[in-house]
Structure 1
Amino acid sequence: MTKHEKIALSRRGFLVGMTAGTLTMGYAMMGGPLGIAEARAEGTFSPNIWFTMDGDGKVTVNITKAEMGQHVGTPLAQALAEELEVPWENVSIHYVSTAPEYGLFVTGGSWSVNWTFDQLSRAGAAGRIALMEGAVKLWGVPLAELSAENGMVMHAKSGRKISYGDLVKEGVTARNFSEDELKAIQLKDPAKRKLVGHSVGALDIPGKTNGTATFGIDVEVEGMIVGTPKVPPVRYGAKVTGVDDSAAKGMAGYQGHVVIEDPTMTTTGWVVALADTYHQALKARDALKVSYDLGPNTGASSAKIMAEAEALQKSGDGAQLFVKDGDSGPAIDGAAVKHEATYTTQLNIHAPLEPLNATVEVVDDVYHIHCGNQFQTLALGLVPAALQIDPSQVVVHQYHLGGGFGRRLESDYILVAALTAKGAGKPVKVIYSREADMTMDFTRTITHQVVRGGASDGRMVGMEQRVVSAWATARQAPAFLADSADKSGKVDPFSINGADHWYTIPNQTVTTIKSPMAQSATPAGQLRSVAPGWTFWAVECFLDEIANKAGIDPLQFKLGMLDATGKNAGGPPNSVGGAKRLANVLKICAEKSGYGKDMGDGVGVGLAAVTAQERNSPTWTACAAQVKVDKATGNFEIQKLTLVIDVGTAVNPQGVEAQVQGGALWGVSIATKEFATMENGAIQQDNYDTYTPLRMEDMPEIDVTVLSTGHYPAGAGEPGVTVTAPAIGNAIFAASGARVRDLPITPEKVKAALG
């Protein structure tokens, strides 16, 4: 087990040094009391920040991002190894435990490569420079006369060369790169890259296929017992009033129970049954008799939440501005063609295959948490608050995730395990049953959107979009709330992102309203695609609808507004080229899919174009869905999905393609299959027999084109999810004339729309 190491460094910069014959690299933290030399002397300087290199020239790249099947460590290692100039066969990756010098730990929003590519590239470049400086001292030659390539430093004039490994053995003097020095490093010309932009095998696959990869559920610690939660009959708001464990006391392995009193209110009304094994804990859980005060949400239901949303739409109570351009009301009223439509989405469950779990042990008053998690920094704040301990007493040890998709952005299972370990006074592994996981999920919220707009002379002149939903960020991380457009209040950007699209519409108003009942009864989380999964569903369908109403081809209608003018011109680093890049992928996608051609009776192609995730970190993505509809029954078949994505620089093109394929299938699942409901305050679907994601038999053909246009890397994890549903909705209309505005799209809804 890795012990917790406290880091205290005096300056923000980049450190290069030697520890026990190993070259070490990393950023220092601001504000610590010790200088580099003193920190090393006192043994508090952690060498393992961004990479280590041993005397054989083998490099281990330290990864702070969560691995849940997206193989994120590989492109991050490619970025570093490219600039370090090290042979790829010498590179491995390590998923690190939390420590202050790493900064923010979060994996979501398709941010991983986008946020860290430059950082890790410069980490590699600084390492290369430090190694070359080591050769300068060894040979007494100017740095300018040296070059580095393939793990070797070379001096052309004398013909001398030395391997990185031998330089490490010789010793490299400690080196601090300031932020200015890092920024001044000239990174490689993209044309000369040998790793970035090239497909390589994912570094984590061998361990996953030979069984050596460790997931959270695999963790074993000495003296550990196992717990599983007995959850209340309502999703949120219950309180335990009594526990009778008389029936459990005679059971084999029973180790008692812990009532979870969570000061953070992440969970309410939970009891954890403890035993020697998981199966014994399940039996003990079922034997516990728990009495509850069920709280305020016993009457909540999906229907009531949607009804409340409709009422909020009419009243406007609680509305906050997210976008305010021009004067949308008069522009719409004066338009030649006007249209209004309502779009809704239902509850969705994450349902990762690996049950949620965390193992907690206390060593020297430090809570060591072993699990896979996407937002370790959040846990580092919540656990001390729940346990009333100092933040320095908590460390999260990271393992592979057997599915995340936003579910493991949450800390509930970590908090439950930590509180259980405290209550039991011994190490505990807590494992959720499938039923506990699903019925206590932080779901994708129910949403209700009204979109109103007007077009004249072939272009939108005004558009209004109002979204009612739960605000996950207000519950989970309120510090991430943003000022409203008019500075009159706060908005949850992660409940409305995507409504600030890249179409040029001179008069646009977007408002967001937090749904009180959804917020209380169905605590929302972030599910893969986040808000763009519902905001673009409305935007892309609405633009098709108004184009059809105006007698204009939807493709030409959209392209006419993707003119990259004004705020849609884009700029460095993430949106160079602006809306023209979205127009480009849309045109390519339409051409590749055969859009506009006669596909036969009952077959249509629908288009959608999105810039998921956030406006300041767009990934330009288009999808064409080819769908066949039986007009007599409403049954439909998604025959093919054609996707084109511009990621700027595809660090690992094969990895990007795989992400887009997986995302598109996830999008199909949400768009056409997945549907959860709440009745009497409880989620009704508790396993895969009642919550039914996409099956193999439903697989469409998928054609993915990855454009690597040389710009800064964009994310690839979620755009394929976001773009799929509106493309399918538009395709069903093209094939049959049926317009469905509620997700998931089902044959019954298609038939009803056909009249």
Structure 2
Amino acid sequence: MNSHVKPASGEQVTRETTDLSRRSFLIGSAACGLVLGYAGMPDVALAAAPANVEPSVWYAIAPDGLVTVTCGKADMGQHIASTMAQIICEELGAAWKDMRVQLASNDPKFNDPVLGAQITGGSWSTMMNFDAMSRAGAAGRIALTDAAASAMGVPAGELVVRESAVTHPKSKKSMSFAEIVKSGKATKTFTPDELKAITLKTPDQYTMIGVSVPQLDIPSKVNGTAKYGIDTMLPGMVYGKVVTPPVRFGATVKSVDDSAAKKVPGFIKAVTLDDKTNTTSGWVVAVANTYTNARKAADALKITYDNGPYANVSSETLQTEAKRLQAETDSGQFFVKDGDPAAALANAAKVVEAEYTTSINIHAPLEPMNATAEFKGDILHVYTGNQFATRSGAIAAGAAGIDPKYVVMHQAWLGGGFGRRLDADMTVPAVQAAKAVGKPVKVIYSRENDMTMDFSRPLTYQKVKAGLDGDGKLIALSHDVVSAWPTARWGIPDFLSPSADKKGPLDAFTVNGADFFYSVPNHHVRAIKNELAHNATPSGQLRSVAPGWTFWAVESMIDELAHAAGQDPAQFRIALLDGKGANDGGAQRLRNTLLAAMGLAGYGTRQLPKGEGMGVACVSSQERKTASWTACVAHVAVAPSGEVKVKKLTVATDVGTQVHPDNIHAQVEGAALWGLSLALYEKATLKDGGIEQTNFDSYKPLRMSQMPEVAVSVIANGEPATGVGEPAVTVIAPALGNAIFNACGARVRGLPMTAEAVKAAMKA
């Protein structure tokens, strides 16, 4: 997605800001053009020591030669800060031992060069920032080279930059980065046009890109110096524990009896949230001097609620409503509208029709949701790990009733994100409690708070109808996708997409993946908003987003069609990936990836024992325009009881340019296992308006004992870098479903594919 998201109005201050009135306004040149920000100290203090060289907003070189990269992305274990540093290091010519990383504040100067906002998701980070970080590094190398040439009295074109030093081979003169910085001669700046004109290295010249260097964030995470949001400690800080209503959304607080809470030592106040951002509803925060006492006080509160309009809604209610909406021919908007599927289906030799469903799924990151809020004069400081600083700052401002320019977001390392921390609900109770008690307040969710109030992956219902001609060729496919619209909930118009039928914007993040790279002359995809689900279960972006359910339907249907045509499912796909029209290039890369996975897995080369089967799937996740070409061959054994044992997952992915091979393997392996967990085990249910599963005893993700062998093949072909954090999630479920069918003849069309569901399908 290439739309630009405008930051909240007004300039936002950096994390060093403590008194807005004492800041001097700076204007400087940076890798992404002109940047605005506030200086952290008076000019006289800056002059007291040798100045850093800052060729870009993204990094600074200190007089000791250390290069500190500021990462504008949320680092939640995927090592994106280290990746950004590695890209800069390649073009800068620094020694890896001299590289350091830090996390950005919400100052707009750190906005994404492409998206125009500070957001981490969609497997976009490396893909969308590779060029900007490369040019930032190259600009620094040029500035240092020019300064060294001047100092040494030699032509700049004869200098070599390597390992944090600039050397003149002919004269054997050399200057370290530290010496150049201390000289004060590295003052060259670049306009945006000059940055674009820089000639970058070609892949054959890389010495850092493609090398598995030590990740820069690991030492601090091992020795405990890395600070997560939950580690925040401020002078005079107190604690808040939220009390949430029995329904997910729509409740209001009628009364709060705190008489028992007042008997808890250290109890300060019970704060009923008045959230104008509509992020929360019906929440109360118990504030006390310790978290333990806050929990005790929260348990002691007696709260009465009006449970609101969704008190009787259940998963079954949402599914019934989805089917009703799908049956209405004029509901929704078209995402894809090519040809005339209805006419083609009327003349098809064979028609296959199926319904596919997915359940509500929960993020449950290891670090519980948390935020600490502190007011210092007119400035609100919020300490938390978040994936969307631009939106999080605006929500915190809305909760406080102030202008977003007075909010400073202090970014922390994230103990898991997976899309959960794209939402900023945790800031609301912290901000309103801090405002109510006049002290810094740290709010920490319990696991129960997090699970029952998660912005979950929505329950989805999809209906697919497809037709084959007399030769077994796919001639038409109609696909309806019904779900809540997570991105529309954000209220950011630039994140919505125009519909193909001109009926207004739609949430493409609910249908991405349905616009596949198979050549089908008649293809319609309809995106239908389930308003009831949208309101009763406010949904968010869970790792892989729509491709996690759209490819479940698409790749299952493609398999069903192959069997209906009497063809091998892999060869059926290969024939469809002919690269015609708009599918040129992308289809070929996907085809090659499928062939790589088949070869590594030994697909079709041996007879499998009874009850075992292999299944294939191939996907272009995340979005069609930002694809990472990924294929999977799943090998399963299915018992008569319906229990599925996953023997092996073989995943091949085309990433274009690989920055850090080991990290790519780790990300693909993790994504594959996440996809496995969603496919076979994870399910949340709604009853009486509330999520029933409250902890890991009832919401059961993949366990260590259920881990299969995972084989990964990475295709690095020198094309632009793609993303790796999410694509493999989307390919696992359909590959498993197809393998289960080949093993025992059971076609399961709903996730998760439990033993009970498989056994029932055996009898069908």
TM bracket (short chain): over 0.9
Q: Are 1:475 and 2:480 an aligned pair? A: no
Select which of 686, 699, 703 maps to 1:691.
699
Cα gap change, 1:454/1:46 in structure 2, threshold over 3 Å: closer, same or farther? farther
Task: Tell me how far 1:336 sits from its aligned partner.
Answer: 2.1
Q: Are 1:328 and 2:328 an aligned pair? A: no
Cα gap change, 1:654/1:347 in structure 2, threshold over 3 Å: closer, same or farther? same
Corresponding position of 1:19: none
Cα gap change, 1:247/1:88 in structure 2, threshold over 3 Å: closer, same or farther? same
Letter in 1 for 2:482: V
Superposition misfits of 4+ residues, deviation over 6 angstroms: 31-34, 37-46
Corresponding position of 1:556: 571
Asked whether the 8 Å contact 1:9–1:28 carries over to 2, the reply is no
Corresponding position of 1:546: 561
Q: Distance in 2 between matches of 1:691 and 1:306?
A: 20
Corresponding position of 1:572: none
Corresponding position of 1:723: 731
Corresponding position of 1:497: 512
Q: Which moved more, 1:468-477 or 1:381-390?
A: 381-390
Please, what TM-score do these two structures have when normalized by structure 2?
0.93
Corresponding position of 1:440: 453
Q: Are 1:666 and 2:674 an aligned pair? A: yes
- Superposed CA offset, 1:569-602 (max 9, x none): 1xxxxxxx31101000101111211222311111
Q: Distance in 2 between matches of 1:663 and 1:605?
A: 20
Query: Which sections of structure 1, spanning at least 5 residues, go unmatched?
Result: 15-25, 570-576
Equivalent residues in 2 for 1:36-435, closer than 5 Å: 49-103=57-111, 104-435=117-448
Q: Distance in 1 between matches of 2:711 and 2:743?
A: 20
Asked whether the 8 Å contact 2:511–2:550 carries over to 1, the reply is yes
Task: Tell me how far 1:620 sits from its aligned partner.
Answer: 0.3
Asked whether the 8 Å contact 1:317–1:513 carries over to 2, the reply is no
Q: Which moved more, 1:214-223 or 1:154-163?
A: 154-163
Letter in 2 for 1:535: T
Task: Tell me how far 1:441 sits from its aligned partner.
Answer: 0.6
Cα gap change, 1:156/1:200 in structure 2, threshold over 3 Å: closer, same or farther? closer
Q: Distance in 2 between matches of 1:293 and 1:7?
A: 50
Q: Distance in 2 between matches of 1:381 and 1:7?
A: 24
Q: Distance in 2 between matches of 1:203 and 1:41?
A: 28
Task: Tell me how far 1:414 sits from its aligned partner.
Answer: 1.2
Task: Tell me how far 1:388 sits from its aligned partner.
Answer: 2.2
Corresponding position of 2:582: 567
Letter in 2 for 1:473: T
Select which of 613, 619, 637 maps to 1:610.
619
Letter in 1 for 2:331: G
Letter in 2 for 1:655: N
Cα gap change, 1:65/1:32 in structure 2, threshold over 3 Å: closer, same or farther? closer
Q: Distance in 2 between matches of 1:39 and 1:674?
A: 59
3-state secondary structure, aligned to 2:63: coil
Q: Distance in 1 between matches of 2:608 and 2:711?
A: 17
Letter in 2 for 1:478: I
Q: Distance in 2 between matches of 1:53 and 1:717?
A: 30
Letter in 2 for 1:560: A
- Superposed CA offset, 1:42-87 (max 9, x none): 9999968311112221111111111111111122111000000011
Asked whether the 8 Å contact 1:361–1:369 carries over to 2, the reply is yes
3-state secondary structure, aligned to 1:69: coil
Letter in 2 for 1:239: T
Q: Distance in 1 between matches of 2:354 and 2:214?
A: 46
Q: Distance in 2 between matches of 1:284 and 1:594?
A: 60
Task: Tell me how far 1:398 sits from its aligned partner.
Answer: 0.9
Corresponding position of 1:534: 549
Q: Distance in 2 between matches of 1:42 and 1:455?
A: 75
Cα RMSD between the aligned structures? 2.2
Select which of 697, 710, 734 maps to 1:702.
710
Q: Distance in 1 between matches of 2:63 and 2:53?
A: 19
Aligned residues: 733
Letter in 2 for 1:521: A
Letter in 2 for 1:69: G
Asked whether the 8 Å contact 1:28–1:101 carries over to 2, the reply is no
Q: Distance in 2 between matches of 1:93 and 1:477?
A: 33
Q: Distance in 1 between matches of 2:415 and 2:698?
A: 21
Query: Which sections of structure 2, spanning at least 5 residues, go unmatched?
Result: 1-13, 112-116
Q: Which moved more, 1:88-97 or 1:119-128?
A: 88-97
Please, what TM-score do these two structures have when normalized by structure 1?
0.94
Cα gap change, 1:38/1:133 in structure 2, threshold over 3 Å: closer, same or farther? farther
Percentage identity across aligned positions?
49
Asked whether the 8 Å contact 1:498–1:615 carries over to 2, the reply is yes
Q: Distance in 2 between matches of 1:7 and 1:590?
A: 61
Asked whether the 8 Å contact 1:7–1:100 carries over to 2, the reply is no
Task: Tell me how far 1:520 sits from its aligned partner.
Answer: 1.0
Corresponding position of 2:749: 741
